[in-house]
Amino acid sequence: MASMKFTYRSGQRPLDGYTLKRGVGQGAFGEVYFAVSDGGKEVALKLLRGHTDAELRGVSHCLNLKHPHLVHLYDLRTDARGEQWVIMEYVFGESLAGVVNKHPTGLPKEVVREWFAALARGVGYLHNQGVVHRDLKPANIFIEHGHLKIGDYGLSRRISGSEGGDLSRGVGTPHYMAPEIKNGNYTCSIDVYACGIILYEMLTGVRPFNGETPLEVLMKHYIDPPDLTKLSPAYRAVLGKALEKDPAKRYATVGELAKAVDEMFGARRDAPAVVPPLPPGLTPTLPRAPAPATLADVPASAALPVAIPVGVPVKPAAPPGPIPVAVRDRLTELAGAVALTPLITAACTAPWAVFQSSVQWSLLARLFLLATVLAWAVVLIGRLPKRKEGNPWGRRAIQFTVGACVGALAFWLDGWALPTGTTHASTRDLVLFTNHRVSEGTLSTGMRYLFYFGLAVGACRWWRVTDPKRRERVRFLPLFAAAFWGAVFLFLWPSESAPLMLGVSVMVIASVAAQAASPWAGAPAKWRA
């Protein structure tokens, strides 16, 4: 993403009524931006490039289509320069390609079952509207909170027989292109074939046909049979029929394929539907109607949350929804965040040295070290297992402990050390187990450090600051919150030892560093033109 050069920058308004926030993707057919309307609606704006006529025709076919498993197209607009823009739904999530890449041996069977059923419903709805997608692939399928949505269907066409011309040839991605596309055939069969490829990839983690060049991959689609030995015997018959070279030998519709997949996973048509308990805090969105016997019997227009498998008893231990990230990936992300944090805190501390020449270097060093340690701690506790949002006191207790440790470090940096003798001893001194004495004033200063940072850190909701799915990488509201709580507890600050603003500055700089360094998946490169 860093190397991409977009036509427009953040804050510009090339289309009346919308402000661009950032570019999120580029391709042969245009650029995609994350934008916000004047009314506050978050959308994706696609600036059309290249074969504009082909895309405009596809968008016109799909502009009024509405389905829970399709990315919604809202409008088609022309700006003052005569350029065409597509206004569409912005999906906060990850592409299916990204999920598959993290699971090289295939996804869990229950997840494949849920997501493929949703994919079939979305594709079946397009076919019922007389539209063929033409470019089904994991990179064009997105997962938002466990819910699957199909994107990039603006390049689709009306279902038709053989057509000539350049526009009908070579459209799509070679790894997912049915053999009959070479003749310009755009019928449901090419989407059925692509769904078979996607199912194979979800089950095994690899594609059935690969090669050094796109032409080599296409030739394998035309000639070579798929390698089904990577699949369990129960799955081979279904995948073999879905990937037949002759479209007449494939499943006639995506609904037939979905029904076969449902039976492949062991569903019985006479089995009652069993819906597992919803996770705490998740509100069911199913209509109040009897559940269908199998997933394949669900109408194409029905809205079914992907996270709720229907039609087969599900073991309570099987967690619905997104798959957890691999431990290795989490450690890599954490190591990168730890390495980046000191650079950000240094950048935030540097202006003090430039514009406030009277500030002592020792004070700046204390500010840098305390902010870095606090930001490290925030990043680390942000990777702890998720807890219930309705009961955050466990998190706050951990944060209070972390803050108290930062306060102990601040106390030590203030120059405190254990006394080496008993001179000027007082009966009010605290006698440690080492027989060292701590004076009443020293103890008071230390406790004020501990409680100041403990309470200020414990009051902030740091788990939202480091949430990988936050909408923006760095937000101003957490900075204000850190400054607010830092100011609220200033009555505890030992002002005789350090300036009042040192504590507040540590809180704010740590909030900036924790947000900027924490992993962020709010705007992945998931849109392709």
Among all residues, which ones are annotated catalytic?
135
Residues 6+ apart with CB under 8 A from 319: none
Cα separation, 181 vs 196, whole angstroms: 16
Strand ranges for 38-175 from DSSP E? 42-48, 73-78, 84-89, 94-95, 131-132, 141-144, 147-150, 157-158
Cα separation, 192 vs 157, whole angstroms: 15
Say what the alpha-carbon torsion angle 282, 283, 287, 293 is, to the nearest 10 degrees.
Answer: 30
Cα separation, 116 vs 176, whole angstroms: 16
Tokens of residue 132, six digits: 């063929």
Let me know the angle formed at the C-alpha of 344 by 338 and 346, rounded to the nearest 5 degrees: 110
Asked if residue 372 lies in contact with residue 422, where contact means CB atoms within 8 angstroms, the answer is no
Cα separation, 506 vs 375, whole angstroms: 9
Strand-pair partners of 296: none
* Distances in whole angstroms, Cα of residue 327 to Cα of each of 105, 106, 166, 352, 396: 15, 16, 47, 39, 25
Asked if residue 256 lies in contact with residue 266, where contact means CB atoms within 8 angstroms, the answer is no
C-alpha closest to that of 424 among 407, 441, 411: 441
Strand-pair partners of 95: 142
- 3-state SS assignment for residue 126: helix
Cα separation, 439 vs 223, whole angstroms: 87
According to DSSP, residue 249 is labeled G
Tokens of residue 318, six digits: 């099987």
